[in-house]
Amino acid sequence: MDVFRITGGYPLRGRIGVGAAKNAVLPILAAALLAGGPVDIQGFPALSDARHMVDILETLGCRCRVGDGQVHIDPEGAWGWEMPQELSKKLRSSIFMMGPMLGRFRKAVATYPGGCEIGLRPIDLHLRGLAALGVKVREAHGMIYCDGSGLRGGEVHLDFPSVGATENLMMAAVTAPGNTVIHNAAREPEIGDLQRFLNALGGRVSGAGTGRVLVRGVSSLGGASFRPMPDRIVAGTLLIAGAITGGQVAVEGARPADLGAVLDKLRQAGCGLEEEEDRVTLTAPARLRPVEVSTQPFPGFPTDMQAQIMAMCCVAQGASLIVENVFENRFAHAAQLRCMGADIWASGRMCLVRGGKLTGAKVAARDLRGGAALVLAGLAAEGVTEVEGAGLIDRGYEGLERMLGGLGARVERI
């Protein structure tokens, strides 16, 4: 198993750019199945999750070519409406294929998806939403059988603004006859990117970024060339890398409009921030101050940044409080941070972090963002840290060791 070995104590300095957002690319890849012509995705990230999604498209009969930072998808000959089981176990986002399969073939068979172990992560909102669009859903023997012969526009009320359910329903609805309204839709910026992509194909989607998404069904779609948005979570992680090491970093592709809640916490921690439309420059204070963080759907503080900010709180001067409201089991990194000397008290969805010193240790990534947090902790720790499970971190960071190394960190993959 790959391991990141980090020698702590080097302040990060310099300028770095971030690539396309994993959470924008995955639903866009799924939506390519709906296209009526070739799709080119520019700035295609070398992430294992994105590669798995392309593998799924190929298994369904799409012709795909990956290279030169692009992926070309020709969905014309696609014939598959049954999710390959092995691949869907590897990737929770495989569930995104249901909407496009229903849109294109009016039927879909899927298994329960895999992905990071960060909570129960049910898919009831996806299935109830599809049912509201006229899809007959039957679950048996761990499989989900969907009959979309009656697929049509409808009104969906989500109990919780689920990102995945909002996207899946947008994709199912885009070629369904009639209008669909998704109420209590998630407002994450990646939903806006999916809307832009569907509209580039010829769809008629509006309202992304608000709690009410309207999809006016069209009878067919074309192809498109598209560049997905930069990754706000990678950008946020790099800013924290600057903060936790007492450094100064400029992150290109960090859009303040997408990072508001994160920047607010960094400012409260005492960081200096210079914000431009597409770039944020962070200057760390001599000593970080503690913060109170409560994760929420966008525009609240993102759950995907909770682990990284916890690493930062471990070296702040005073006690920080972190509440995880989105996933019920997302503190696996807390136990690992304790191995590095962190003083963390955890109960249910809450963690109290008393800031102090971190020391290098052998720790293990349990999930993608928690793994990134351990690397950040290693940057600030005294001595050498080894983070086992680099493969989990590769799901969402394109060569984290190269990115951090470019800023002066001592990180190697062994």
Residue 125 near ligand UD1 by CB under 6 A = yes
Strands 362-364 and 384-388: parallel
**Annotated catalytic residue 116:** yes
User: Considering the complex, what minimum distance in angstroms separates the CB of residue 253 from ligand UD1?
Assistant: 18
Query: What x/- string results for residues 134 through 173 when contact with ligand UD1 is judged by CB under 6 A?
Result: --------------------------x-xxxx--------
Sign of the CA dihedral running 360, 262, 370, 321: positive
CA dist 54 and 66 (Å) reads 9
Query: Quick one: 274 exposed, middle or buried, by C-beta within 10 A (0-12, 13-18, 19+)?
Result: exposed
Report the residue from 4, 19, 23, 280 that binds ligand UD1 according to the rule CB under 6 A. Answer: 23
Q: Which residues contact 48 (CB under 8 A, 6 or more apart)?
A: 391, 394, 395
Please state at what angle helix 232-244 crosses helix 306-313, rounded to 10 degrees: 0
Choose the stretch contacting ligand UD1; rule: CB under 6 A; options: 104-112, 122-130, 140-148, 197-205. 122-130
CA dist 268 and 66 (Å) reads 42
User: Considering the complex, what minimum distance in angstroms separates the CB of residue 399 from ligand UD1?
Assistant: 19
Smaller CB distance to ligand UD1: residue 186 or 393?
Answer: 186
CA atoms within 13 A on the CB side of 265: 28
User: Considering the complex, what minimum distance in angstroms separates the CB of residue 374 from ligand UD1?
Assistant: 18
Residue 303 near ligand UD1 by CB under 6 A = yes
User: Considering the complex, what minimum distance in angstroms separates the CB of residue 129 from ligand UD1?
Assistant: 8
CA dist 201 and 190 (Å) reads 17
Residue 304 near ligand UD1 by CB under 6 A = yes
Task: Choose, from 116, 146, 313, 351, the residue flagged as catalytic.
Answer: 116
Q: Which residues contact 64 (CB under 8 A, 6 or more apart)?
A: 54, 57, 58, 71, 72, 73, 74
CA dist 210 and 212 (Å) reads 5
- Give the footprint of ligand UD1 on residues 315-354 (CB under 6 A): 326-327
The H-assigned helical ranges of 69-227 are 85-90, 98-105, 124-132, 163-173, 189-200
Query: What x/- string results for residues 182 through 211 when contact with ligand UD1 is judged by CB under 6 A?
Result: ----x---x---------------------
- Give the footprint of ligand UD1 on residues 80-119 (CB under 6 A): 92-93, 119
Report the residue from 12, 26, 244, 390 that binds ligand UD1 according to the rule CB under 6 A. Answer: 26
Report the residue from 121, 196, 333, 366 that binds ligand UD1 according to the rule CB under 6 A. Answer: 121
Report the phi/psi class of residue 34: left, alpha or beta, with left for phi > 0 and alpha for psi in -120 to 50. Answer: alpha
**Catalytic machinery residues:** 116
Residues of this chain that interact with ligand UD1 (CB under 6 A) are: 23, 26, 92-93, 119-126, 160, 162-165, 186, 190, 303-304, 326-327
